[in-house]
Amino acid sequence: METRRRTVLAAAAAGLTAAAAGTGAAHASGSRTPARERFGRMPDGTEVHRWTLTGGGVRMKVLSYGGIVQSLEVPDRHGESANVSLGFADLDGYLGESPYLGALIGRYGNRIAKGRFTLDGTEHQLSVNDGPNSLHGGERGFDKRVWDVEPFTRGTDQGLVLSYVSADGEMGYPGTLRTRVTYTLSAAGEWRIDYAATTDRATPVNLTSHVYFNLAGEGSGSVYDHRLSLAASRYTPVDGTLIPTGELAPVSGTPFDFRRAKAIGSDIRSDHPQMLHGQGFDHNWALDKGGSARPAPVAELYEPRSGRAMSVATTEPGLQFYSGNFLDGTLVGSSGRTYRQGDGLCLETQHFPDSPNQPAFPSTILRPGETYRSTTVYGFGTR
């Protein structure tokens, strides 16, 4: 899990200095407040803003709509920056058919079978939006809401506090859920996400981030030559509608074994039955160090040509690795190129899918008086 990140951050920071020179407030690093600009209007007239955070050579653009990471510029080993996250150039792209590009996901990351669960003796029916199931919070999840955004600077860190109040009954979920998500970009090139939520009725909560990474640059082709490692000895197999069977299966001897780094493409065409369900990797890995009080290192991604590396640390017990299987060439990304199958991948830290219907999985139920907390850190560097 060693990235040798530190050695390259100095170079990355130098890259930023050059890039920042003469580009004004939006690109300044350090103590300045994140810059805000207008990005578009919602159909009801609500204005959507785009915020720019910089730190450690990384420049990240975040929308108040969906908390979406619209762009994430990271230097390569020569200090050349590229946008390593899939996205759209304008708001219309996101208001159309977006497969959650860059978005915050809530109230429940991944699927709940038939959009149904029973809690404290009451059955709840959620919005169903993925075949028979509810996916990523239903028809209009947190990815499709305009969030309140408060910028901050703390020493050399820059950040945003995103808040959204989800009404009791929204998308079928019980309870008023008050969610605060803090994005912090540090001078070390680390993007930290702290999730917090409270409720006034018991309800399932499972928040995550749905950035599609391509460390060679968005629109540059597939991620199959990226090398991935995942510190997970088990994963949760799924049925034909991508709902976990309830089993925790060993990865050993299967395409799901990423305990030693391997190219994503090496087993992507495997005929393992589990690979046929999601047309590639679209599974939850049960993290060996999952569920820790502090973020534990769980994954690392490396792109050999650019030398860009990304580490993932989390407090969550699971991680959904989705290899962009359903990208089908119909979307045109932010630099004008189409996104085809495998052109980006997601590493979504989470509780396991369908936990409200799986008593043996770690619980996702939040009760009044408790605070939901979860932290994930994506660290960027080069080798």
Active site residue ranges: 210, 348
CB of 242 to ligand BGC, least distance (A): 5
Instruction: Name the burial class of residue 77, with classes exposed (0-12), middle (13-18) and buried (19+) by CB atoms within 10 angstroms of its CB.
Output: middle
**CA-closest candidate to residue 212, choices 63, 69, 102:** 102
Does 282 bind ligand BGC (CB under 6 A)? Our answer is: yes
Element (H, E) at 20: helix 5-20
Q: For residue 230, report the phi and psi dihedrals to the nearest 5 degrees.
A: -135, 125
Site string for ligand BGC, 207-246 (x = CB under 6 A): -----------------------------------x----
Tell me which of 57, 79, 99, 255 binds ligand BGC, using CB under 6 A. Answer: 99
Phi then psi for residue 360, to 5 deg, are -80, -15
When the beta carbons of 49 and 234 are compared against ligand BGC, the nearer one is 234
CB of 99 to ligand BGC, least distance (A): 3
| Separation of alpha carbons 232 and 250, rounded Å | 9
Does residue 133 touch ligand BGC according to CB under 6 A? Answer: no
- State the minimum distance, in angstroms, from the CB of residue 239 to ligand BGC: 13
Residue 311, SS3 per DSSP:
strand
Answer for which of 39, 51, 94, 100 binds ligand BGC (CB under 6 A) is 100
Segment contacting ligand BGC by CB under 6 A, of 151-159, 194-202, 318-326, 367-375: 318-326
Instruction: For the CB of residue 95, give the shortest distance to ligand BGC in the complex, in Å.
Output: 16
Q: Which residues inside 333-362 make contact with ligand BGC, applying CB under 6 A?
A: 346, 348
Residue 286 beta carbon to ligand BGC: minimum distance, rounded to whole angstroms: 15
The reply on whether position 104 binds ligand BGC by CB under 6 A is no
Q: 138 near 153, Cβ under 8 Å?
A: no
Calculate the alpha carbon distances from 229 to 89, 137, 261, 285, 319 in Å: 31, 28, 4, 12, 12
Asked if 110 interacts with ligand BGC (CB under 6 A), we say: yes
For position 152 contacting ligand BGC by CB under 6 A, the verdict is no
Residue with Cβ nearer ligand BGC (56 or 280): 280
- Contact of 139 with 171, CB cutoff 8 Å: yes
b/e 251-269 (16+ beta carbons within 10 angstroms → b): beeebbbbeeeeebeebbe
Q: Which residue, among 99, 28, 111, 25, has the nearest Cα to 66 in the 3D structure? A: 99
Using CB under 6 A as the binding rule, whether residue 172 contacts ligand BGC is answered as: no
Q: How far is 77 from 82, CA to CA, in rounded Å?
A: 11
- 326 near ligand BGC (CB under 6 A): yes
Six token digits for residue 361: 């999985």
Q: Which stretch binds ligand BGC (CB under 6 A): 45-53, 289-297, 320-328, 335-343?
A: 320-328
| Site residues (vs ligand BGC, CB under 6 A) | 99-100, 110, 242, 278, 282, 320, 322, 326, 346, 348
